[in-house]
Structure 1
Amino acid sequence: MKTINLSYPLSVGITQEYAEPQVVAIGQFDGVHQGHASVISSAVRLAKQQGLPCAVMTFHPHPKDVMKKGNYEGNLTPLKEKQEMMARLGVDLLYIVEFSEVFSELSPQTFVDGMLLALKVKTAIVGFDFRFGYKGAGHAETLRELGGGSMDVEVIPPFEQGGEKVSSSAIRKALQSGEVEEANRLLGRPYRLRGVVVDGDKRGRTIGFPTANLRLIDKYVVPAKGVYAVRTLVQGQWLSGVMNLGVKPTFQEGVTLPSFEVHLLDFDRDIYGEELTVDLVSYIRSERKFPSIQELVAQIQADAGKAREILYSSQ
């Protein structure tokens, strides 16, 4: 898969190199959840049937982040992870369109003429709730009308699971409510965080539970504070572990910025500076303050045992 960064207006070089008949799935696709995958897979199938390249057009930064509107708290899938997932879905070209306040003010007509028709898009594939152009004035039928017969449009219906529409907002809500299993069900995979191991207060080592303190490498949707059973990619190997996400109320007060600490089961190596991939598998309990270090240690032992039970039984 090739990644192409675009900005409006398209340069002559871009149109000379990439303007050719193609099938393009258009959307933000934050989460690349099962509903998004159904849109993208439809584009991949149609492109193969027609012997055309399959492209995805997405937007970066997230429009809600740029416009400072709505309930944007971070990404479900940061750009790097989104690129990896698009490649696995069989996409040939990934267009990353720079989203800015100026771009947000483009009319639906300008977007279609200046971006899609300029790239000679033959078929646009969009989700049922697709909106585009200034203040979301355009929708799928608008796209079809503005294509003027030069561009077909296919609309993919909602993807439902258990009678519920799969959506990024539902996944965000589940994560922030501590319902990680529900979020994973809607995503179709475990929710994933990535971070670099940095120095912490090293208190975990003194009580027999050394932890890897993570500095997240992107702005993620932060799940509910608490303890999670996790699988962690360390130096090319997936290991079982338990993660505490929170402010460590037993040891400190007045802290609001949560920390991410992963204790890896049956592991004792120096991994400072390493990038870890952490998949959240199950929510074990909420974070709480303990009256003594001894009671905290006993609870951590119980948490580790619970994580081991969850993770080893699901392998």
Structure 2
Amino acid sequence: MKTVMLTYPQTLHSAVQGTHPQVLAIGQFDGLHLGHASVILSAVRIARETGMQAAVMTFHPHPKEVMRKGDYEGYLTPLRDKEDILAEMGVDVLYVVEFNEEFSRLTPQQFVHDLLLPLQTRTAVVGFDFRFGHKGAGDEQLLRTLGEGEMTVETVPPFLLNGEKVSSSLIRGLLKRGELDEASQWLGRPYSIRGTVIHGEKRGRTIGFPTANLDLTDHYVTPAKGVYAVRVQYGEQELRGVMNLGVKPTFHENGMKPTFEVHLLDFDGQIYDQELKVELVHYIRAERKFESIDALISQIREDALTAARLLS
């Protein structure tokens, strides 16, 4: 898959060079959950049927982050993760449009005539609630009108799971409540994070459970504090682990920034400065303060056994 970074209008001309007629799925697609996948896979299917290129247009950073509107709490699927997933879905080209204040002022007419049509968009595929242009003035019907004669529009209906519309905001809520199984079901995969292993307090090794402390690579949504059974991708290796996400109340009286600490069950080696991808597979328990270090060690041992059983 080819990724094209596009800043309007500065790099539009270079982005247009060498383009081919294409089917373009358009949306923010943060989460790339089952609802988003239904839009993108529809575009891929139409592209294959018509012999055109399958493309996706997304926007970065998230509009809420740029405009400072709404309750923005991080990405479910940062750009790098989004690229990996889209490539697996059969997308040929990903257009990443820089979302800034100038771009936010584009009218619906400019969005279609200055951006979509020059990119040879023959079919635009959007979700039923798609909005575009300044202050969301355009909807899928206006998109259809503006593209008449040059671009057709396919609208994908809402994706329902157990009678409820799958949405990124609801997935965020599930993660924050520790309802990991349902969040994974709606995403269509386990929620995952990436981070670089950094030096921490090194307390884990003194109690027999060394941990990899992660400095996250992106502004991810932070799930509920607690203990998780995780699968860890380290290079070509897939390892099992147990992760504590929290503020370590047994050792810290005052609040601190939550940390992500992973104890690997199948590995004993030096991995400082290495990147890990961590899939949160099961939520084991909430974080709590223990009366003694021995009580904490006993619970960690039990958590490790639980994680091993859940991941076997």
TM-score normalised by length of structure 2 = 0.97
Task: Note the C-alpha offset of 1:214.
Answer: 0.5
Q: CA deviation at 1:22?
A: 1.1
How do 1:195-234 residues align onto structure 2 when only pairs under 5 Å count?
195-234=195-234
Partner residue in 2 for 1:156: 156
TM-superposed deviation, 1:101:
1.0
Kindly state the Cα deviation for residue 267 of structure 1 after the two structures are TM-superposed: 2.1
Provide the C-alpha distance between the structure 2 equivalents of 1:85 and 1:239, rounded to a whole number of angstroms: 21
Say which SS state the counterpart of residue 17 (structure 2) adopts: helix
Q: CA deviation at 1:255?
A: 2.7
Shift of residue 234 of structure 1?
2.0
- How far 1:266 moved relative to its partner? 3.3
User: Residue 290 of structure 1 aligns with which residue?
Assistant: 290
Name which of structure 1's ranges 161-170 and 78-87 shifts more when overlaid on structure 2.
161-170
In the alignment, the residues of structure 2 paired with residue 224 and residue 40 of structure 1 have an alpha-carbon distance, to the nearest angstrom, of 30
In the aligned structure 1, how far is the partner of 2:107 from the partner of 2:198?
46
Could you list the per-position Cα deviations for residues 155-208 of structure 1 after superposition, in whole angstroms to 9, with x for gaps in the alignment? 001111121211111111100111111110101110001001110111001011
Counterpart Cα distance in 1 of 2:123 and 2:12? 22
For 2:252 and 2:90, the matched residues in 1 are separated by: 48
2:188 is the alignment partner of 1:188: yes
Counterpart amino acid of residue 13 in structure 1: S
Greater mean alpha carbon deviation, residues 230-239 or residues 284-293: 230-239
Provide the alpha-carbon RMSD of the alignment.
Answer: 1.1
In the alignment, structure 1 residue 16 sits paired with structure 2 residue 17: yes
Cα separation, 2, equivalents of 1:266 and 1:21: 49
Amino acid at match of 2:59: F
For residue 171 of structure 2, what is the aligned residue in structure 1?
A: 171
State the Cα deviation string for residues 109-162 of structure 1 (Å, max 9, x = none): 111111011212110000111111111111100100111321100000111112
Aligned to 2:41: 41
Residue matched to 1:74: 74
How many residues are treated as equivalent by the alignment?
311
8 Å Cα contact 2:213/2:262 also seen in 1 = yes
Secondary structure of the residue that 1:141 maps to in structure 2?
A: helix
Q: Which amino acid aligns with 1:165?
A: K
CA contact (8 A) 2:30 2:168 kept: yes
Residue in structure 2 matched with residue 131 of structure 1 by the alignment: 131
Aligned-partner residue type, residue 190 of structure 1: P
Matches of 1:164 and 1:126, distance apart in 2: 19
Gaps of 5+ in 2: none
Say yes or no: does 1:269 pair with 2:272. Answer: no
Determine whether 1:100 maps to 2:103: no
State how far apart, in whole Å, the 2-side matches of 1:111 and 1:94 are.
17
Letter in 1 for 2:56: V
How big is the shift at 1:270? 1.1
Deviation >4 Å, runs of 4+:
none
CA distance in 2, matches of 1:124, 1:253: 54
The match for 2:281 is 281
Mapped to 2, the partners of 1:73 and 1:273 lie a distance apart of: 26
Partner of 1:65: 65
Q: CA deviation at 1:51?
A: 0.8
Paired residues of 2:12 and 2:115 also in contact (CA < 8 A): no
CA deviations over 1:197-225 (Å, ceiling 9, x no partner): 11011100101111000000111001010
What's 2:86 paired with?
86
Query: SS of the counterpart of 1:257?
Result: coil
TM-score, with structure 1 as normaliser: 0.96
Report deviation, 1:301: 1.0
**Whole-Å separation in 2 of the counterparts to 1:195 and 1:24:** 32
* Residue identity (%): 62
